Amino acid sequence: MDAEPVVARTRAELDAARDRLGGTVAVVMTMGALHEGHATLMRRARESADHVVATIFLNPLQFGPKEDLAKYPRTFDADLELCTREGVDLVFAPGPGVVYQDGDPGVRVSAGRLGEVLEGHSRPGHFDGVLTVVAKLLHLVRPHRALFGQKDAQQLLLIRRMARDLDFRCEIVAVSTVREPDGLAMSSRNTYLNALDREVALTLPRALQAGLAAAIEGPSAVRRAAREVLVREPLCIVDYLVLVHPETLENVPEWYRGEALLAVAARVGTTRLIDNMPVLVGQANDTALGVGVPSAITAGADTRRPVRDH
């Protein structure tokens, strides 16, 4: 039987357990409700370091007043089982009072302009909340590398930027989106979908795939192909569909050739879903879902840092 990870609930417990971990440490940050996508991150973490730390913290700072914090799934026992199965050494599962000792922090990390577009436009302040907690968890856990999913491409980009701009001594590693066999990107929010919603939700990966298939013809063909799939499903209420530069998140112009990010957000029933795919504009792309094309976001060679021992 696999050994259960040490569970730390307080800063003192975390410090004591972290000090006992020799060698390199990789962290996987989560808000709980763990699924196969998180398990994949943990496996990759395991391959890349001597020890794996998982954090489970439902961060109130990144939820808007009208968002789903109260109903967000809380499944700690099952989460711990998954961590055990994946060989996690240490789980840091603090309450809000441990992370935000003095209540809501007056000083926060600002995501800047990149945090105001796309997800940030629909969810003002969301990325400041994400970056603030990620910064705190990086300080508390002291990992050599931290792994994040490409599914949240804007989050990943902003965390990379923060690590680079604010000189975090931690390597940020991207992991390709993990999908269900039918193509739906794994997400803790998928548990909100009823059977009909679940069917409708497939419109997102199908639209992205259609866009990918049109990549050789240029940006407007990509957008058109993806939009055509989305408009055929009236139960899928689109927030945005964009083809943007992966580093600036600006719409790519018609003459653009090279790497771009095709991203979509839509409401299905009461659930807001996001998905994205890297696209090589002007080239034939591999349209098999789950088979990622090389990506600045995925590979991120420019922003990787050498691993150091603390």
Nearer to ligand PAF, 62 or 190 (CB): 62
Nearer to ligand PAF, 152 or 259 (CB): 152
Helix, strand, coil fractions of the chain, as percent rounded to 5: 40, 20, 40
Helix (H, G, I), strand (E, B) or coil at 109: coil
Nearer to ligand PAF, 134 or 252 (CB): 134
Helix (H, G, I), strand (E, B) or coil at 117: coil
Q: Identify which of 55, 245, 278 has the alpha carbon closest to the alpha carbon of residue 148.
A: 55
Q: What count of Cα atoms within 13 Å lies in the side-chain half-sphere of residue 19? A: 6
Contact map string, positions 140 to 159, toward ligand PAF, x by CB under 6 A: ------------x--x----
Q: Which of 29, 33, 34, 266 binds ligand PAF (CB under 6 A)?
A: 29
196 alpha-carbon distance from chain centroid: 25
Instruction: Select the span of 29-37, 111-119, 165-173, 276-284 touching ligand PAF (CB under 6 A).
Output: 29-37
CB of 71 to ligand PAF, least distance (A): 16
Q: Does 175 bind ligand PAF (CB under 6 A)?
A: no
Instruction: Select the span of 10-18, 28-36, 226-234, 245-253 touching ligand PAF (CB under 6 A).
Output: 28-36
Q: What region does 194 belong to: left with phi over 0, alpha with psi -120 to 50, or beta?
A: beta
Q: Which of 6, 8, 25, 31 binds ligand PAF (CB under 6 A)?
A: 31
Nearer to ligand PAF, 21 or 137 (CB): 137
CA dist 46 and 27 (Å) reads 9
CA dist 169 and 69 (Å) reads 31
Q: Is 38 a catalytic residue?
A: yes
Q: Does 28 bind ligand PAF (CB under 6 A)?
A: no
Instruction: Select the span of 25-33, 78-86, 87-95, 292-300 touching ligand PAF (CB under 6 A).
Output: 25-33
CA dist 83 and 14 (Å) reads 16
Q: Identify which of 69, 71, 79, 92 has the alpha carbon closest to the alpha carbon of residue 32.
A: 79
Subset of 41-100 contacting ligand PAF (CB under 6 A): 59, 62
Nearer to ligand PAF, 133 or 222 (CB): 133
Instruction: Please report the DSSP string for 62-85 in residue order.
Output: GS-TTSSTTTS---HHHHHHHHHH
Q: Does 133 bind ligand PAF (CB under 6 A)?
A: yes
Nearer to ligand PAF, 53 or 280 (CB): 53
Q: What region does 228 belong to: left with phi over 0, alpha with psi -120 to 50, or beta?
A: alpha
Q: Which of 30, 132, 187, 276 binds ligand PAF (CB under 6 A)?
A: 30
Residues that bind ligand PAF (CB under 6 A): 29-31, 59, 62, 130, 133-134, 152, 155
Active centre residues (catalytic): 38
